[in-house]
Amino acid sequence: MLKNRFIELSDVTKVYHQGNIPVVALDHLNLEVSKGEFVAITGKSGCGKSTLINIIGGLDIPHQGQVIVDQEDLTQMDDERLTLYRRKRVGIIFQFFNLLPILSVEENIALPHWLMGNSKPPEVRIDRLLRQMDLHGRRHHKPYELSGGEMQRVAICRALVNDPDLILADEPTGNLDTASGRQVLEILKRFREKEGKTILLVTHSQEGAAIADRILRMRDGRILLE
């Protein structure tokens, strides 16, 4: 039993179908994560890591089980509450940057804030994030003018702009060179240490997993015993 439990998954099962063939992505999975903890999730492709992240992030729902984040059960939320949860409580960083090419760096970062119905971007927050990510001189650039590492840092800023409690990072270094990947990992570590964020990192990288407080291995939709 963990102290300050922030995430609790109980008996979570998710099944997809490939044609008529059922594929079990998560198989009666149980997980507990403390508030402010940095957890790395590793395992072979297809073991259920991304499905787990999507369910905790409110992007998907399980067929069975409870998904409790900060004492709220996501499986009992309607679409409106889930949308609000995704936009305000969670910051998700993907392997692919998913930046809008017609928007500037600053506008891409402000996008989640606009989706919350706020017409004025949080300029102080954006400015601080840009400086922390060494992107201040790029704020008016378009994505095509940036390197891969810079684009991923913009994506991290976008995930953090609404000051979420929880950061979910799904292979955030997968498309980056070694130096850029290391920089992204150090950024995540810094936000955990300085702002107390709870972070779940999916990674194939041993270096990435090594910076976490705890490493979990998945296989066949389950978390192996630690």
Return per-residue pLDDT of the chain as tens, 226 residues: 556 889 999 999 999 988 889 999 999 999 999 999 999 999 998 899 999 999 999 999 999 999 999 999 999 999 999 998 998 899 999 888 889 999 999 999 998 887 776 667 678 889 989 998 889 999 999 999 999 889 989 999 999 888 899 999 998 888 888 888 888 888 888 888 888 899 999 998 888 899 999 999 999 999 997 6
Beginning with the edge strand found earlier in the chain, give each strand of the sheet holding 72-73 in spatial order.
Answer: 21-34, 5-18, 64-69, 72-73
CA 184 vs. chain centroid, Å, equals 13
Instruction: Please tell me the predicted confidence (pLDDT) of residue 191.
Output: 85
CB 83 within 8 A of CB 77: no
* CA–CA separation, 70 and 115 (whole Å): 23
Query: What is the Cα–Cα distance from 78 to 84, expressed in whole angstroms?
Result: 10
Q: What is the pLDDT of residue 43?
A: 92
Label residues 58-77 b or e (16+ Cβ within 10 Å = b).
bebebeebebbbeeeebeeb
pLDDT at 96: 84
- Integer Cα distance of 146 and 141 in angstroms: 8
Q: Please tell me the pTM assigned to this model.
A: 0.90
CA distance 123 to 187: 21
Half-sphere exposure of 9 (CA within 13 A, CB side): 24
Name which of 198, 166, 160 is nearest 38 in CA terms.
198
Tell me the domains of the chain and their CATH numbers. Answer: 36-61+77-224 (3.40.50.300)
Say if CB 26 and CB 63 are below 8 A apart: no
Q: What angle do CA 48, 50, 54 make, to 5 degrees?
A: 115
Is-contact 216 223, C-beta < 8 A?
yes
CB-based contacts of 87, cutoff 8 Å, min separation 6 = 112, 115, 116, 162
